[in-house]
Amino acid sequence: MARRYALALADVVIERKEEREVQAEIDSWASMIDSNPQLREVFANPTISYDQKRSVLEELISRTKVRQTTAGFLQVLLKNQRLSQLRQVAERFSLVLDERSGVIAANVITARTIPEPAKNALRDTLASATGKTVRLNFTTDEEIIGGIITHIGSTVFDGSVRDQLDRLAVELAGN
């Protein structure tokens, strides 16, 4: 479901040349709904009438002053009872825009924060390996002990010390 809405929105924003502006607005709206339990309840609750939901949405649109494209998209989601799933649509929309512009996202996990030159070197290495522009997202997890884990789509490159120790333990156990 999310992909279908994301693809449709991508077609419109690319034609209008407002990809990143609408993406930022959609992300902002998804965060607003995610962080407000009452708002989530209003848009997800089937016992609240469509007119009441539409009134809340229109008030929020007027306060946030989003682009017409974003406002129209939010209204379509509301009409189709999908506004409560905006986070999933926003994530898929981001992937679709990246895909269409030749960008891939890589999620990188390290045991501790790494310096900018190392981040840039990793970006360059991944770009030459994939032939695409790479957008890196970094997180830290001390449990990997050291090394790096990189997720690109469904592919995982695990160069963590934890993984190496796990493999060594299996090997020593004779499995």
**Are residues 139 and 165 part of one domain?**
yes
Domain housing 49:
2-98
Domain containing residue 73: CATH number: 1.10.520.20
**Are residues 114 and 50 part of one domain?**
no
In the chain, the number of structural domains is 2
Rounded CA Rg of the chain: 21
**Are residues 48 and 90 part of one domain?**
yes
pLDDT in tens, 114-156: 999 999 999 999 999 888 999 999 999 999 999 999 999 888 9
Domain containing residue 109: CATH number: 3.40.30
pLDDT for position 128:
93
**Are residues 111 and 90 part of one domain?**
no
**Are residues 89 and 10 part of one domain?**
yes
Proportion of the chain above pLDDT 70, given as a percent:
99
Of 74, 98, 122, which closes a domain?
Answer: 98
Global confidence as pTM: 0.70
- Strand-pair partners of 157: 150
Distances (CA, A) of 161 to 3, 141, 158, 167: 36, 12, 9, 10
